[in-house]
Amino acid sequence: MRRSVVVDTSVRVLFLSILVLSLYFLFAGHNQPGGGFVGGLVAGAAIALRYVAGGVDEVRSALPLRAQTLLGLGLLVAAVTAAVPIALGHDVLDHAYVETTLGALGDIKATSALPFDIGVYLVVLGLIMMMFEAFGDEISFDETIGEFSPEPGQTPTAPASMEMYDLDLFAELAERRRLSDRHEGSPGGERP
């Protein structure tokens, strides 16, 4: 993949600042516009910039965790936050908050809705990373032919109809992924 210096440099500057913005949305969300979902989407936009700059490998190196780990952790945090009040004898999703003064930093209000929002944030972020891994990989757009070529260097045959073509491609990709998983010997069908 050809990389552009301009895009690379600006993405490097933007990536972290957008992540900080997404964290702001996450924490502001309780009483102001924002929240876990919006924060997660903004963080996802930062990931999308990395994809624009360097493809799916760049997305994988953006965060130290695998996409499904993020997704699982997020769902776990959110669902446990919903379940804890049941264990304490309250209704599901019930919440509590404390207000304290942190000296010069001012008053803060910590609510139990925050862990739930953090969970949502992680789920959205994990999902976006997963989408880039699923759709941004293993398929190369061959500019000279102007078609999705199933195999690098192989000339694609003309599809009988557009509908048939897409399904064939899906099926072939799924089949190839299955074969490569088997080849790598990982039973779970995941990347080693």
Partner 1 sequence: MSGLVAVPIVAPLIAAALSILVSRWRNAQRAISIVTLGALAVIAVVLVLDLDDSGGIIVAQAGGWPAPLGISLVVDRLSGIMLVTSAAMLLGVLVYSIGHGGVERTQAAFHPVYLVLAAGVNASLVTGDLFNLFVSFEMMLVASYVLITMGGQRERIRSGMTYVVISLVASTFFVVVLALLYASTGTINMADLAGRIAQLPDGVQLMFALSLLAVFGIKAGLFPLFSWLPDSYPAAAAPVTAIFAGLLTKIGVYAIIRTQVLLFDPDVRPASLLLVVAALTMAVGVFGAIAQNDVKRILSFHIVSQIGYMIFGLALFTVAGVAAAIFYTFNNIILKTTLLMTSGLMERRGGSTRLLRSGGMIRTAPLVGLLFALPALSLAGLPPFGGFVAKFSVFDAGVGSREWAVVAVAVLVSLMTMYSMNKIWSGVFWGEPEQPSEHEPRDGGRLGGPVLMVASTAALVVMGLAVMIWARPLFEFTERAAIELLDRRVYIDAVLRPTP
- In the complex with partner 1, which residue's Cβ is closer, 80 or 108? 80
Alpha-carbon span 111 to 145, nearest angstrom = 56
Closest CA to 136 of 51, 62, 63, 78: 51
- Scan residues 50-69 and list those touching partner 1 (CB under 8 A): 68-69
Segment contacting partner 1 by CB under 8 A, of 19-27, 31-39, 97-105, 165-173: 165-173
Going through 73-134 in order, the beta strands assigned E by DSSP cover 97-101, 107-111
Residues 6+ apart with CB under 8 A from 49: 11, 14, 15, 18
Query: Is residue 190 within the footprint of partner 1 (CB under 8 A)?
Result: yes
- Residue 88 beta carbon to partner 1: minimum distance, rounded to whole angstroms: 9
Residue 140, helix vs strand vs coil: strand
Alpha-carbon span 184 to 192, nearest angstrom = 8
In the block, tokens 């073509």 appear at 165
- How many C-alpha atoms does 12 have within 13 Å on its Cβ side? 6
Position among 48, 63, 73, 127 found at the interface with partner 1 (CB under 8 A): 73
- Residue 161 beta carbon to partner 1: minimum distance, rounded to whole angstroms: 13
Position among 91, 99, 107, 143 found at the interface with partner 1 (CB under 8 A): 91
- Scan residues 170-189 and list those touching partner 1 (CB under 8 A): 170-171, 174-175, 178, 181, 187-189
What tokens were used for 33? 């516009």
Residue 108, helix vs strand vs coil: strand
Query: Is residue 97 within the footprint of partner 1 (CB under 8 A)?
Result: no
What tokens were used for 10? 């600006």
Query: Is residue 111 within the footprint of partner 1 (CB under 8 A)?
Result: no
Q: How many positions of this chain bind partner 1 (CB under 8 A)?
A: 33
- Residue 94 beta carbon to partner 1: minimum distance, rounded to whole angstroms: 5
Position among 89, 106, 153, 185 found at the interface with partner 1 (CB under 8 A): 89
**100 DSSP β-pair partners:** 108
Q: Which residues bind partner 1 (CB under 8 A)?
A: 68-69, 71-76, 78-80, 82-83, 86, 89-95, 167-168, 170-171, 174-175, 178, 181, 187-190
